[in-house]
Amino acid sequence: MEQTNLYYEQHSDEQAGPSRRLPDITLLDMIFIALALQMGHDLKQTLHDYWSRIIQLHTPFYSETMTQDRFLHILHFLHFADNSKT
């Protein structure tokens, strides 16, 4: 969580001011990992399909667990190492 938040902070400084900053990733947000693992058992064509409301694709588990925007935010900034120490 620490490295993901740090990585986001480093990139948000470049992309947008602090007023547009999203909330930090918390321990509760790490349900992201469970969602990612579940996706391996429930294969769909695109990431967006997991949150689709189209009756043929709809799987409530994903939207009831985490919003698509939050999932994609964590996926985009998921980071495990401190870049400043390389």
Is the pTM higher than 0.85? The answer reads no
Per-residue model confidence (pLDDT) at position 19: 57
CA distance 4 to 75: 10
Percentage of the residues of the chain whose pLDDT score is greater than 70: 88
- How far apart are the C-alpha atoms of 37 and 40, rounded to whole Å? 5
Tell me the pLDDT tens digit for each residue of 42-77.
999 999 999 999 999 999 999 999 999 999 999 998
CA atoms within 13 A on the CB side of 62: 25
2: CB partners within 8 A, 6+ apart? none
